[in-house]
Amino acid sequence: MTHWLCVLVQTPAHATLGSVLSYRSESLLTPGTLVRVPLGKRETLGVVWDAESAHATGEFDPEKIRSVAGSLEGIAPLSLAWQQLVTFASQYYQRSIGEVALAALPPQLRELSPEQMQRRLKRGGRSAGHSAPCPPPALGAPPLPAQSTQPPSHLHPSLSPEQATVLQQIHSQSGPFLLFGATGSGKTEVYLHCVQTLLANEPHAQALVMVPEINLTPQLEARFKARFVPLYGEDAVVSLHSGMTNPQRLTSWLAAHSGVARIVLGTRMAVFASMPQLRLIVVDEEHDPSYKSSEGARYSARDLAVYRGRLDGAKVLLGSATPSLESWHHSRPAAEGGRYLRLHMPSRIGASAALPLVRRVDMNHQPRNAVFSIPLLEALKERVARGEQSMVFLNRRGYAPVLQCAECGWKSECPHCSAFRVFHKIDRTLRCHHCGFTERVPRACPTCGNPDIAPLGRGTERLEEHLAELLADVRRPDTVSVDFPEGEPVRVARIDADTTRLKGELQSQLAAVHAGDVDVLVGTQMIAKGHDFRRITLVAAVNPDGALFSSDFRAPERLFSLLMQAAGRSGRDACLGARSEVWIQTFQPAHPLYAALKRHDYPNFANAQLKEREQAGLPPFTAQALVRAEARTQDVAQAFLNAASASAQNDMPQWAGWEPVLAQITLYPAVPMSVQRVANVERAQMLVESPSRGALQQFLSAWQVVLHATRQGPVGKGVIRWAIDVDPLAI
C-alpha cells in the first residue's frame, strides 16, 4: 500500500521550491520520523511531518512524486513537543520550518545513510539511541506536582538561608522563575540542587542547563559530572555546543534523544535538543546577548526556553546577577502584569563575604594620555605584594584598533569592509574582525611612504605589553631563587579570542590563573563572565565610557551588566572578600550608571532604564523587527527595502480586514547598517515597529509574500539575500 508523506527538508531560505515536500512510502511513518529522501540529484535528510500542520508546495502529481529512500531505524521519532517548538520558532522568527528543523539536528545526522546510521548505533551501545523515549506531556497539560523541598539523603552540601528559601519557592510553585542573585551568591548550587531533586524524584526525568558561551561549559560540566556521574553513570551528563566535533555532537544528541543522558549542558543551540522527558530548563546568565542567534533563524534561545517549558511541562529557571530588562519587566508583580516569579539572593556565600568596593577614578585629574591612573597602579602593586591576583578588563582585542599615518592621514581601513583592520603586534598583521582579511603590516605608509606609522587606541594586546612595562620592577613575594635573587618578576597574562584559538588553550590558561601562576590577568569579556577565580581581589575597567553615549539604546544596559559581571570576579573567596575592590577609570565619574554600580544597585538602574524606554516607546514596551538586505551596492539594497515598504503601505490596505493591523505598524525608511559593507557586500536595514506583538507578527507573515514578490521584480535585481530579524538586539 502506498502512503503519501509530508517531509521537511533543508532548502535555501528563499528557495521557491519550499521546505515541505511530498513523498511516497510503502509504510506509514509517524510524524517526527527521520528519513532519507531524494532532492534533485542528491539524497538528503528529512523529517516526516504532520500533514495537517504542514503545507507541501508544488503540484501534487502522483506520477512525479518520488519515494522515500529509507528511514533511520533505531532512532525513535522526534516528540510532538519538539515538533511544536520547531513550528513556533519558524513562525515567530519568520523562517521556513524545514530550515529550522534540519538546522536543529546534528550535522552528522544529515550526512549518514540508513545503513551507516545502523552501524553507528551498533557501535554506540545504549547511549546511541536504541532506547525508545517515553512520550512527553501534551501541550496544556497540568503542571508537575510539587516536589519535596528536601534534597535527597545522598546530597549534603550546606545551603545558605537565601538558597534554601529560593529552593523552597522553586519546588512549591510552577514558575517560570527569574533568579536574581548577586555574583557569588551560589546560583550554580541552586541549579545543582534543583536538578538533583528532580532526578531523585522522577526516574526518567531530564534537565537542560544552558550557558551563553562555549568557554563557560568546561567548568560547569566539571561540577555537574562530579555531582551526578557517581550517582547515575558516565552517560548521564552530556554537552552540546558548536565547539564539539560532529561525531561528539551526534553522540550527545543521541544520548539525550534516547533518554540515557539525564542532563544536557549546552549553549543556545541546546534549546532544540531532543529531550523527550524534559522537566527542568535552566538558563544561566540569561541576560547575555549570546543567547540570540545572529545568523539563519535569528532566534532567542532564552525566549524559546520559556516557551519550551510550557510545551514539555517543564519548570524554567532563568538566572542572572543583572537580568535583561525584558526579564526584569516580566518579573514584576503579577498584579502589574508580570509573568515570571522573581527570586532574590542578594548576599554572597560565606559569613564574611561581601560585595567588592567600587572605586571611581576621575581620569580628568590624571596625567594626559595615561592608560593606568597612579592610584590604580599602586593598588595593583599592593595585590602582587600580598600574593593576590588582579584582573584588568578591556573589551577590545588586538594591539590597537587602528594603524595610522600622521603625515597624510592614512588609516588601516579594510578594502572589503567599511571598518578598520585591527593591528596585531604579536604576528605583525592587520586583521579585519568582520571579513577576516589579513595582511602583513606595511613597512611604510601605503599612500605617502612615511615610515612612521603608529597605532591609534589600545586593545588587550597593547594593554598587556604596557602593564608588563609598568610592573617590570615589581617582584613576586617569596620567590627568591638562584635564578631570581630578588624574586620572580610579575606575571601578566592575557586571555581573549586571539590567545585561545588553539584547542585546549583556554583551559590551560584558566588553569594557570586558578593555580596562582598569574598575577595580573588582562582580557576581554571572555574573562568577565561566570569564572570562579578565587584569588582575584581587584578588578579594573580601564576604558568603559564609550557605551555611555552610544546611539544604541541597549548600550547602557550592556555596559552595566558587563561591569557588574566583571566586578563579580573579585573577592569570590569569603576570606578575601573584605578587601576586594573594583576600579572604574572614567572621564564621567558622576554618571548615574556608575553611581548605581557603586551601590551594586541593579534594581534602581533597571527601573530607571525601563522608565526611559517606556517614555520613548522602546522594547519591551513595543515590538520590533529588522528587515535586512544585502546587495553589491547600497542603492540597490535600500531600493529593495523601500519598494517592499511602499507595496505594504499602498497595496496591503486593500486587503480585506487589514486596516486595523496596518494602523498599528510603523515602517521606517531604509538606512545603511552600522557596518554597511562586509566582504564587498553592501548591507541595509529597515525597522518595523508596533505597540502590539500580535499585530507585528501578523504583518510580518503577510509581508513575506510582498518581500518575495519584490525580490523577483525589477527592483530586486542585484539583491543577494534578505532576512527578517524579530526582536533584534542591535539596531
Same domain, 390 and 408: no
- pLDDT digit string (tens) for 606-641? 999 999 999 999 999 999 999 999 999 999 999 999
Q: What is the DSSP letter of 652?
A: G
Structure confidence at residue 60 (pLDDT): 56
C-alpha cell belonging to residue 248: 561528539
- pLDDT digit string (tens) for 561-589? 999 998 888 877 767 777 899 999 999 99
Instruction: Kindly report the CATH number assigned to the domain that includes residue 195.
Output: 3.40.50.300
Residue 548 in any domain: the answer is: yes
Q: Provide the number of structural domains found in the chain.
A: 5
Same domain, 77 and 220: no
Q: Contact 687/619 with Cβ under 8 angstroms?
A: no
Q: What is the DSSP letter of 528?
A: T
Long-range interactions of 25-29: CB distance < 8 A, separation 24+? 25/67, 25/68, 26/1, 26/2, 26/67, 27/3, 28/3, 29/3, 29/5, 29/68, 29/71
Residue 11 in any domain: the answer is: yes
Residue 331 in any domain: the answer is: yes
Single out the residue in 61, 87, 104 at which a domain terminates. 104
* Three-state secondary-structure class, residue 453: strand
Residue 132 has pLDDT above 60, yes or no: no
Question: Among residues 43, 108, 48, which one has the least CA distance to residue 80?
Answer: 48
Q: Which of 105-119, 302-316, 508-522 has the lowest mean pLDDT?
A: 105-119
Same domain, 511 and 655: no
Same domain, 465 and 492: yes
Single out the residue in 345, 366, 385 at which a domain terminates. 345
pTM value surpassing 0.95: no
Structure confidence at residue 532 (pLDDT): 78
Residue 590 in any domain: the answer is: yes
β-strand 520-523 against 492-495: which pairing, if any?
parallel
Output 16 or 247, whichever has higher pLDDT: 247
- pLDDT digit string (tens) for 669-722? 999 999 999 999 999 999 999 999 999 999 999 999 899 999 999 999 999 999
Same domain, 186 and 254: yes
Same domain, 337 and 433: no
State the Cα–Cα distance between residues 81 and 279, nearest whole angstrom: 12
Q: Contact 605/709 with Cβ under 8 angstroms?
A: no
Q: Which of 109-113, 288-292, 511-515 has the lowest mean pLDDT?
A: 109-113
Question: Among residues 438, 422, 435, 499, which one has the least CA distance to residue 464?
Answer: 499
C-alpha cell belonging to residue 337: 502584569
Residue 115 in any domain: the answer is: no
Residue 425 in any domain: the answer is: yes
Residue 352 has pLDDT above 70, yes or no: no
Question: How would DSSP label each residue in 335-348?
Answer: GGT--SEEEEE-S-
Residue 155 in any domain: the answer is: no
Residue 153 has pLDDT above 80, yes or no: no
Structure confidence at residue 133 (pLDDT): 42
Same domain, 499 and 547: yes
Residue 721 in any domain: the answer is: yes
Instruction: Kindly report the CATH number assigned to the domain that includes residue 702.
Output: 3.30.70.260
Same domain, 375 and 298: no
Residue tagged 503540484 (cell numbers):
59
Range of the domain at 35: 3-104
Single out the residue in 104, 124, 150 at which a domain terminates. 104
Mean pLDDT of the chain: 89
* Three-state secondary-structure class, residue 450: coil
Same domain, 209 and 256: yes
Same domain, 168 and 204: yes
Same domain, 381 and 529: yes
Structure confidence at residue 159 (pLDDT): 92
Structure confidence at residue 12 (pLDDT): 60
Same domain, 99 and 240: no
Instruction: Kindly report the CATH number assigned to the domain that includes residue 63.
Output: 3.40.1440.60
- pLDDT digit string (tens) for 71-106? 888 899 999 999 999 999 999 999 989 999 999 999
State the Cα–Cα distance between residues 244 and 250, nearest whole angstrom: 10
